[in-house]
């Protein structure tokens, strides 16, 4: 029922999986070996893209050893749902994650950083971003966005403030670092909650 696929065999040879199969055949839904047994192919993938990697490196320069950066953290690991959250927002909550979370040494959330791109300009994506902001605001966890615009200008911004840092010249780097640190300081965290 299946047909042999040369590309699949090349893939399996490249990843040294071929010795475990004498022949690979594929149907529309599954990969089978010569004995008709279903094979599962799972490969690890990189957790972050290059832009996210650069942003994480920058964030690391903004915090000291009392803070930790976590990447691709689900909203359900950051906060708990209480009462009164409608079903649509509840579903969104359980299937969404954030790009970066900074926690204190006790692993309590201090700041969420979302890495933005032109993808975030679409109506649907902005709507999802607003839902994420709403849930984090309810939980008292501040959120800022980072986005590279123009030529090498990193914009760090929230609803209330913005800092533009030139990645090439380093101009206003200290302002960008201060913005991140400001959210991580416990006394400032209480002030951010009062504003929200």
**pLDDT at residue 120, as a whole number:** 63
User: Are residue 93 and residue 179 in the same domain, yes or no?
Assistant: yes
User: Are residue 92 and residue 24 in the same domain, yes or no?
Assistant: no
Using CA atoms, how far apart are residues 139 and 79, in angstroms rounded to an integer?
A: 6
**What is the three-class DSSP state of 52?**
helix
Q: Tell me which residue range forms the domain holding 139.
A: 50-195
State the distance between the two ends of the chain, measured CA to CA, in whole angstroms: 60
User: Are residue 29 and residue 61 in the same domain, yes or no?
Assistant: no
DSSP string, 134-193: HHHHHHT--EEEEEEETTTEEEEE-SS-EEEEETTT-TTHHHHHHHHHHHHSHHHHHHHH
Residue 94, pLDDT > 60, answer yes
* pTM, to two decimals: 0.72
Q: How many CB atoms lie within 10 A of CB 112?
A: 23
Among 2-6, 120-124, 180-184, name the one with the lowest average pLDDT.
Answer: 2-6
User: Are residue 13 and residue 96 in the same domain, yes or no?
Assistant: no
User: Are residue 83 and residue 158 in the same domain, yes or no?
Assistant: yes
Specify the CATH number for the domain of residue 59: 3.90.1570
Structural domain count, the chain: 2
Using CA atoms, how far apart are residues 13 and 8, in angstroms rounded to an integer?
A: 9
Q: How confident is the model at residue 146 (pLDDT cuts 50, 70, 90)?
A: very high
* Ramachandran region, residue 150 (left: φ > 0; alpha: ψ -120 to 50; beta: rest): left
Q: Is residue 45 part of a domain?
A: no
User: Are residue 30 and residue 101 in the same domain, yes or no?
Assistant: no
**Containing H/E element for 105?**
none
Higher confidence at residue 192 or residue 132? 132
Using CA atoms, how far apart are residues 94 and 85, in angstroms rounded to an integer?
A: 12
């Amino acid at each position: 029922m299946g047909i042999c696929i040369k590309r699949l065999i090349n893939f399996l040879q490249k990843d040294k999986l071929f010795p475990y199969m004498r022949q690979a055949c594929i149907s529309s839904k599954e990969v089978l070996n010569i004995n008709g047994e279903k094979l599962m192919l799972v490969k690890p993938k990189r957790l972050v893209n290059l832009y996210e990697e650069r942003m994480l490196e920058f964030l690391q320069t903004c915090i000291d050893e009392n803070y930790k950066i976590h990447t691709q953290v689900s909203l359900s690991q950051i906060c708990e749902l209480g009462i009164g959250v409608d079903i649509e927002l509840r579903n969104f909550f359980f299937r969404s994650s954030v790009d970066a979370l900074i926690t204190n040494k006790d692993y309590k959330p201090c700041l969420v950083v979302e890495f933005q791109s032109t993808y975030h300009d679409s109506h649907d994506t902005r709507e999802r971003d607003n839902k994420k902001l709403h849930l984090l605001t309810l939980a008292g966890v501040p959120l800022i966005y980072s986005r590279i615009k123009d030529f090498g200008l990193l914009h760090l911004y929230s609803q209330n403030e913005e800092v533009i840092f030139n990645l090439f010249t380093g101009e206003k780097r200290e302002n960008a670092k201060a913005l991140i640190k400001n959210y991580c300081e416990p006394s400032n965290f209480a002030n951010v909650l009062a504003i929200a």
